[in-house]
Structure 1
Amino acid sequence: MDILSSDIGAVARVAHLGKHYGTGGQRVTALDDVSIGIRRGQFTAIMGPSGSGKSTLMHVMAGLDTASEGRVWLGDDEITALGDAALTRLRRRRIGFVFQAFNLVPTLDVMGNLRLPFELDGRGPDTAERERIAALVAALGLDGRTGHRPHELSGGQQQRVAIARALATRPDVIFADEPTGALDSRTSREVLRLLRSAVVETGQSIAMVTHDPVAASHADRILFLADGRIIDDREAMSAAQISETMLRLETAA
């Protein structure tokens, strides 16, 4: 599959990407000749049955894993052959992450967690960045909580902190791996609205791996994977339409 012309100039993209684990008879193919881009200013959902390769695709695009074959770009910069140190700098400065497990530092309070990406880059936030952090704290309902440590917050509050931390540095793209997986349905809807508003109001680019049709229904575009290949690429769909598509994939698997 060749990359679509609409994906050229994407915020992140891969061409003829392959990813394998093991050798010989133990070799497993996680991704098989995948060419796709994450478009700027869009909310993209990545879906597929368990073992379809969706998390592997996200990890390779985010520089958390390496390609076995093919090429990987962040914007116009090819990252395929970058070493660990260069990839670490790139992730710190240009990519935001939101995970199911929140991944907040338990010994830091909320403000410490929000400032962490800047401090890992060897600096403190400048005036504009401090104002942005303050605006995120207010917008995400975290006023009065900035001195609390993660264990003093609800799951929804912790995920809001993780989203604020991901947005604070204005990254090129945010990768979200099952961001609502540990939340109840009401809190999940709240978190998805926050992600959606980041796209609509600030033009943020988000790629979200999820198994949840309701979560995916918030996206502008949905990529469906099966057996390491992209088998469908759709514009926004309802949760019911997504469920039907997933059921077909799982029945065919």
Structure 2
Amino acid sequence: MQITTSDLGLAARVQHLTKTYGSGEGEVRALDDVSVGVRRGQFTAIMGPSGSGKSTLMHIMAGLDSPSSGNVWIGDTDITGMGDTDLTLLRRRRIGFIFQSFNLVPTLDVAGNIQLPLDLDGRKPTAEETARIAMLVDTLGLRSRLTHRPHQLSGGQQQRVAIARALATAPDLVFADEPTGNLDSRTGREVLSLLAAASREHGQSIAMVTHDPIAASYADRVIFLGDGRIVADKPRQTPEQITTYMLAAEVNA
């Protein structure tokens, strides 16, 4: 009998994942036989020093990059080797993305950017989605900014629009790549609290790549990578515990 990702309570998983760049003498192994899952309704932080493979892992899990070997599942769909068209549809319908650089469409206003996943899918929001978007707009303090374009917003406001867009369709899985990297500490804390609430109150699965111990302390689980391998997998940690672990790992490296 085939054990599925759902049976394991996972929103996504990778198995024996390896990613290499280059060949021969110049080959770089960014990921080395990694097997890990993102649990449903859980906020997971992925940490590690620069070059540890954390962004590569997230990009492959999200179907933005392909592995050299191994398998990737989103829910019970094996996306390894899936064609571009199918992958694009799957990402649009089941995954939300929050990037450090916001990636908003400059010609659209805030309302248009938030509704973009629906527009790309060629459909109008359902009543439930309309209510969710209204709740996000109010929670994120964007009500007075709906007709503004991205260039008229602060960095924090732009990141909030990106979060509203990522959560608008209640995707199974949200990937956040250094989501607080361009924000001041107060706005960063607000963003992290929102992500934590999305998983805790709405059952969304969130995987966040970060190098910031304070950001990672908001997560239910912290996965540490080193040299392309998972070196630790810990339940919720304080910023101090995370910092201590990372310093010890650097000393032992």
Give TM-score, length-normalised by structure 2: 0.96
C-alpha distance in 2, partners of 1:122/1:249? 48
Q: How does 1:192-211 map to 2 (within 5 A)?
A: 192-211=192-211
Counterpart-to-counterpart distance in 2, 1:195 and 1:186: 15
Q: Give the aligned partner of residue 215 of structure 1.
A: 215
1:132 corresponds in structure 2 to: 132
Q: Work out the CA distance in 2 between the residues paired with 1:119 and 1:230.
A: 38
- Alpha-carbon distance, 1:85 to partner: 1.0
Deviation string for 1:188-247 (max 9, x for gaps)? 111111111111211111000000000000000000000000010000000000001111
8 Å CA contact 2:102, 2:158 repeated in 1? yes
Shift of 1:186: 1.1
C-alpha displacement at 1:60, in angstroms? 0.3
**Letter of the 1:241 counterpart:** Q
Q: In the alignment, which residue of structure 2 is the partner of 1:83?
A: 83
> In the aligned structure 2, how far is the partner of 1:102 from the partner of 1:202?
23
CA deviations on 1:163-196 (whole Å, 9 max, x unpaired) are 1100001101000000000011111111111111
Aligned to 1:181: 181
Shift of residue 48 of structure 1? 0.3
Structure 1 moving runs of 4+ over 4 Å: none
Q: Percent identity?
A: 68
- What does residue 70 of structure 2 align with? 70
CA distance in 2, matches of 1:151, 1:251: 43
CA–CA distance in structure 2, aligned partners of residues 234 and 157 of structure 1 = 32
Taking the TM superposition and a 5 Å limit, the aligned residue runs for 1:1-253 are: 8-253=8-253
C-alpha distance after superposition, 1:16-51 (max 9, x if no partner): 000001111111100000000000000000000100
The Cα of 1:7 is off from its aligned counterpart by 9.0
1:156 is matched by which residue type in structure 2?
Answer: G
Change in CA separation of 1:7 and 1:26 when aligned onto 2, cut-off 3 Å = farther
Cα deviation for residue 141 of structure 1 reads: 1.0
For 2:158 and 2:72, how far apart are their aligned partners in 1? Answer: 32
Q: Following the alignment from structure 1 to structure 2, what is the Cα–Cα distance between the partners of residues 189 and 181? A: 11
> Residues 6 and 75 of structure 2 are in contact (CA less than 8 Å); yes or no, is this contact kept in structure 1?
no
Deviation track 1:133-180 (CA, whole Å, cap 9, x = no partner) reads 112111111111100111111111111111110000110100000000
The secondary structure found in structure 1 opposite 2:133 is: helix
Give the deviation of 1:6 after TM superposition.
Answer: 11
Q: State the one-letter code of the partner of 1:137.
A: V
The answer to whether the 8 Å contact 1:7/1:36 transfers is no
Name the SS for the 1:11 alignment partner.
strand
Task: Name the CA distance, whole Å, in 2 between partners of 1:7 and 1:76.
Answer: 9
Tell me the matched-pair count.
249
Alignment RMSD: 1.4
Q: Distance in 2 between matches of 1:78 and 1:238?
A: 35
